[in-house]
Amino acid sequence: MAKFTDEDDALLAELGVEVEAKKVSRYTPQQERVIAGFEDIQRFVDEHKRIPEHGENNDIFERLYAVRLERLKSLSEFQEPLAPIDYQGLLSGGDTSVGAKLDDMDDDALLAELGIEAIAPDITTLKHVRSSAEIRAAEEIANRERCKDFETFKPLFEQVQKELYSGIRETRPFKDDARIELGHWFILSGQKVFVADVGEEFVADYGRKDRRLRVIYDNATESNMLKRSLERALQKDEAGRRITDPTAGPLFADQSEDGDLETGTIYVLRSKSDNPIVAKNRDVLHKIGVTGGKVEARLTNAKLDPTFLLADVEIIATYKLANINRTKLENLIHRIFGHARLDIEIKDRFGNPITPREWFIAPLFVIDEAVRRIKDGTITSYIYDPKTARLVNRGRLS
């Protein structure tokens, strides 16, 4: 294509033809990355109508944007490229205390907070050089993004934490059991990790078989990483742990232990309350509990007990069990039906608000199945899905 001279440009201008000037970037690659990071903050402000804030309860990306913004306020060398695009006035004024606290961070750490890659050393300097395999593994692990449907998984993370506290689950060194399958839980770099999906098997480098995983982290991020990459990461992490599956433990042990009962009963009750929410769901709303005595004795003065919704109840089903650890059994039942727990608040006779915890919206036939699976030990892989009204593999909760 012929090049236009200055005279040609002038002639075209006379004819009313605009000459498209070739855009030349006036920013360095580092400045362009800073601008891109600043635009992320601007999009957050446009979407949420406020500046990003710190706080453990906030989204990890919001917390990152908050650090990034306050650091940018304190770095004068980036004011020139950012000022023309700061239409929200984010860089003017404000507290830079967080930026001040980060003054003792080294250059690489600061650049990382700003989303900037550290400049590589001179090519003749071989300090800290990693192999291509190590770099590839690090990239596979670090390539995370926000988990847009984390609210679906959040209850699972919360339940796993409760089960760790109660002893239903345990943690064991990953090297003792290096299996990675759908629904498995791990601790990697101090974070709980859930394998939410497993792709089709394929042959990777050197003829080895591999799979692509969808891995969810407890900080609301996710990664589409290879199974072997997760294996390597867990092997290299000295604190890498497997979170065991929930087990019934000594629920049906041959010998009695402290806290066990010689006999016990799981009972299922139905409320006669006139509360509109209860009346609407009466046929599928059940209280599931465990007692070591007679069920009828447990129901004395139900009208005065908020745990019974301050109303009479009727016994729908009972299941006799031997040698039960009541606490472990109740924790297990709550895990199975946790997603179907009745969300209701009532006031006791003194006017204090009470939230009953043992009422679940689940049909009786599903409760029957759950008890059967508790008895034969297969319940550990299941959880109740309210959407389908059935027990499903906990790794495939819809």
One DSSP character per residue, 75-134 reads -GGGHHHHGGG-TT-TTSS---HHHHHGGGS-HHHHHHHTT-PPPPPPTT--TT---HHH
Q: What is the pLDDT of residues 328-345, one digit of tens each?
A: 787 788 889 989 999 888
Q: What is the pLDDT of residue 270?
A: 94
Taking alpha carbons only, the member of 373, 283, 365 closest to residue 335 is 373
Residue 129: count of CB within 10 angstroms of its CB: 9
* pTM, rounded to two decimals: 0.39
Distance CA 359, CA 281 (A): 11
Q: Running DSSP on this structure, what letter comes out for residue 49?
A: S
> Three-state DSSP class for 295?
helix
Q: Running DSSP on this structure, what letter comes out for residue 218?
A: T
- Among 114-128, 188-202, 326-340, name the one with the lowest average pLDDT: 114-128
Q: Running DSSP on this structure, what letter comes out for residue 271?
A: E
What are the sequence ranges of the domains in the chain? 29-113, 132-243, 249-396
Residue percentage of the chain with pLDDT more than 70 = 72
**In sequence order, what DSSP letters do the residues of 215-227 get, joined into one string?**
EEETTSEEEEEEH
Q: What is the pLDDT of residue 98?
A: 39
- Among 65-79, 126-140, 296-310, name the one with the lowest average pLDDT: 126-140
| Tokens at 249, concatenated | 């433990």
Taking alpha carbons only, the member of 148, 230, 146 closest to residue 185 is 230
Rg, Å, the chain Cα set: 30
**Per-residue pLDDT for 96 more than 60?**
no
**In sequence order, what DSSP letters do the residues of 160-182 get, joined into one string?**
HHHHHHHTSS-EEEGGG-----T
Q: What is the pLDDT of residue 63?
A: 80
Query: Would you call 272 exposed, middle or buried from its count of C-beta atoms within 10 A (0-12, 13-18, 19+)?
Result: middle
| Structural element, H or E, at residue 144 | strand 144-146
Taking alpha carbons only, the member of 163, 229, 177 closest to residue 199 is 229
